[in-house]
Amino acid sequence: MSEDSYELKVVDVVEETADAHSISFEVPAGAEEQFAYKPGQFLTLAVPSDQTGVAARCYSLSSSPVGGGPLTITVKRTAEGYASNWVCDNVREGDSVRVLPPSGIFTPASLSADLLLFAGGSGITPIISITRTALQQGTGRIVLFYANRDERSVIFAAELTRLAAENPDRLVVVHWLESVQGLPSQDQMKAFASSFTSYDAFVCGPAPFMKMTIAALKELEFPRERRHQEKFVSLGGNPFGDLHDKEVAEHEIEDAERDLEDTDPAPGSDQPQGPVRLEVELDGENYAFDDWAPGTKMLDHLESKGVKAPYSCREGECSACAIRLLEGEVKMLHNDVLDADDLEEGIRLGCQSVPVTDVVKVTYH
């Protein structure tokens, strides 16, 4: 078992719709700090698998970090989704589930900002966490566009109605039902968003829904820093490896470092000639190291120095380890989540980044 994973007891299971269950967990005594989270973040669950032993899946937190409620994720079944069906069919109150602490960068910089929120189907999960928290701790206005197949598919319908009624001056909820209005078009999304171009936009839902909505926001010239998109893919690796797996990986890293030290880079290589200076800002702390070995991933190097840098999948398939380049350049060995806009903004994945320049300065989101 990973030393960073925890066994969490399930304290409640709520059937939100026929296809969606909310699972609430009890945080173990002594792990409160590790499970402190921001609205919009997710948990990574270890789902048993006959084929791979463990299927690691990320599920957004629907609960709010304020108000004292339990840590809660909401999982919606998908037709071919092994993990989502397993969770909905098998997880019951009293069970224990292996979980990694909260991760993710799909969270507002300011809870008092005016927020334009777009959710499609189960994409409401991080969106309602943001909504709940901003209403309690923020002061801005919130406009939520929520698209679903039909009325029975609307997750948190009663709560959204209650929140809008209790906060008429701050929250507007607009439901879009495919059974009534058909699928929304990009022009319709653009027309809807055109009244809120000064707001910070957050988009979560099926890939076509997010692609269309982001395209509409780009047409309206929403700047990149006010466009946020959540992306999940099925994790190919297993971040829940046991201690033996971790030790093997560390030895492989050490061997690779020795090999690099004994081999001069080829002319024209995008690999530095020697150790790299790495400067990192994380959670208000600054770190500097002069011995980042070429070919070693940034996350691995920081962990070797005792720095608790964020991560989840370690495979370049989620955004939990996202960094922003301040100086220098890195090369990502794998990337399934960042798009061209992200890369242009200097965003990289720490778990897949190796140095290209002799000095690299980054900040974690």
Residue located via tokens 């957050």: 202
What's the CATH code, domain 6-102? Answer: 2.40.30.10
Range with lowest mean pLDDT among 27-31, 121-125, 133-137, 267-271 = 267-271
Give pLDDT tens digits for 264-289: 443 345 678 789 999 999 988 999 99
Residue 4 has pLDDT above 90, yes or no: no
What's the CATH code, domain 115-229? Answer: 3.40.50.80
- Confidence bin at 252 (pLDDT 50/70/90): very low
- What pLDDT shows up at residue 248? 38
Beta strands in the chain (DSSP E): 6-17, 20-26, 42-49, 53-60, 71-76, 96-103, 115-120, 142-148, 171-177, 200-204, 227-229, 276-282, 285-292, 322-327, 330-332, 347-349, 353-355, 359-364
- What pLDDT shows up at residue 270? 66
Higher-confidence position of 104 and 270: 104
Q: Where are the domains of the chain?
A: 6-102, 115-229, 243-364
Higher-confidence position of 96 and 263: 96
What's the CATH code, domain 243-364? Answer: 3.10.20.30
Give pLDDT tens digits for 172-209: 999 999 999 999 999 999 999 999 999 999 999 998 99
Give pLDDT tens digits for 123-133: 999 999 999 99
**Dihedral, CA of residue 195, residue 339, residue 79 and residue 152, to nearest 10:** -10
Share of the chain above pLDDT 90, in %: 68
Give pLDDT tens digits for 324-345: 999 999 999 988 888 888 888 8
Residue 235 has pLDDT above 80, yes or no: no
Range with lowest mean pLDDT among 14-23, 296-305, 314-323 = 314-323
Cα–Cα dist 254/251, whole Å? 5
